[in-house]
Amino acid sequence: MLKYLKNKFRDKQEPSLTAIEWWRYIGPGMMVTVGFIDPGNWASNLAAGADYGYSLLWMVTLSTIMLIILQHNAAHLGIVSGLCLSEAAKKYLPSSISNITLISAVVAGISTAFAEILGGAIAIQMLFGIPLKIGGAITLGFVAWMLYTNSYKKIEKWIIGFVSLIGILFIFELTLVNIEWGKALVSWVKPSFPDGSMVVIMSVLGAVVMPHNLFLHSEVIQSRQWNIHDEKTIKYQLKYEFYDTLFSMIVGWAINSSMILLAASTFFISNVHVSELGQAQKLLEPLVGNIAAVIFAIALLFAGISSTVTAGMAGGSIIAGMFGEPYDIKDNHTKLGVGFILLVSFILVILIENPFQGLIYSQMLLSIQLPITIFLQIYLTSSKKVMGKFANNTKESISLWTIGLIVTALNIALLVSFL
């Protein structure tokens, strides 16, 4: 599918973008945004807000800043090289290293898709009382239909619509509660580490900065590809891709923040501990009203379905890249990758005993794998062999290495917290 789009746009000349044309450029960034407003984020953000009030909002801000830099860099790779992260790893790394790296990315992809399917199943249970396993099967079936029968362009429109609806629903939710905006404004920029919060901090990090999104962005950005051999066009692409990424990530930051604000202004002030998403929905009803509880479940359903779609696409991209191929849903390797990721994830949903803890720890697993993907990306985008004159400059390298080291340090802190 993306192979077709690459060929279709490769020889087009650079157009001049009006404001309307720029808006039409929005899309790849939104595909990524879905990944960090997924059910795993819901679990992490609700735990953060319910247990620590507004104090962990800073982690959403820090994670989003990291995300903007990393996602732009991943898209940078796709625009300049015409390869996704997985293809580039296969092409430019020794086989032993690329195989280990990409296998770990597949594991992270399964962890991601597990959280997404589980979230969709929980939402269906909230709304219709359908058992979790059956809800998971419904989510899996609908997502498989979307991925195997719809073109990328149609999926992109669905995703933009889902993100917009989720945002609108959360804006409405916030009108129903009393936010202490003074505390929130300080907490967005002032780091704090309350006792026992390290697991939740790491889960928030893993829920926002997600390995599969780096693979996905480097692939889907090529749906906007024109002539990758023309320097002027590449610069143009990088410019407008950054606007798309920045806009989309800010939308994601706002939605993630809204989750913490909602939990802090309802559960934290009432001294209510949230141990599962279903419980959160039930607890909202007496605190805020039935309409808030229903909207919460509807938004979760949209988040679960849309994020499962992008998780499946990312898994297909990673596995196709292991064979040196781009994502193409008509190709057998992509079909295999999408099916493998979704099926294994669904099996985990069936086996899991504690859904809420499963969501929390799935996000922690992502944060543990994340440094591997980050340093892989830094290596590739810093290489003149891969990127030519568009390789990372000194400022970009410092920013990327700083993020990689911060993520690694936080993982070490997490390990220490368990010892």
Q: Which residue has the higher pLDDT, 412 or 21?
A: 412
CA dihedral 309, 315, 320, 326 (to 10 degrees): 50
Contact at 8 Å (CB) between 105 and 318?
Answer: yes
Measured between alpha carbons, how far is 147 from 111 in angstroms, rounded to an integer?
19
Q: Residue 239 half-sphere exposure, CB side, CA atoms within 13 Å?
A: 10
pLDDT in tens, 238-266: 777 888 888 899 999 999 999 999 999 99
Q: Pull the structure tokens for residue 117.
A: 């399917």
Sorted by sequence, the CB contacts under 8 Å of residue 163 that are 6+ apart come out as 30, 33, 34, 37, 251, 255, 306
Q: Domain residue spans in the chain?
A: 2-10+41-380
pTM of the model: 0.85
Instruction: Say whether domain 2-10+41-380 belongs to CATH 1.20.1730.10.
Output: yes
Write down the mean pLDDT value for the chain: 85
> Per-residue b/e over 114-141, b at no fewer than 16 CB within 10 Å?
bbbbbbbbbbbbbeeeeebeebbbbbbe
Q: Pull the structure tokens for residue 296.
A: 């919460």
Contact at 8 Å (CB) between 31 and 338?
Answer: no
Q: Which residue has the higher pLDDT, 311 or 28?
A: 311
pLDDT in tens, 103-142: 999 999 998 899 899 989 989 999 999 999 999 999 999 9
**Neighbour count for residue 193 (Cβ, 10 Å):** 14
Q: Which residue has the higher pLDDT, 57 or 281?
A: 57
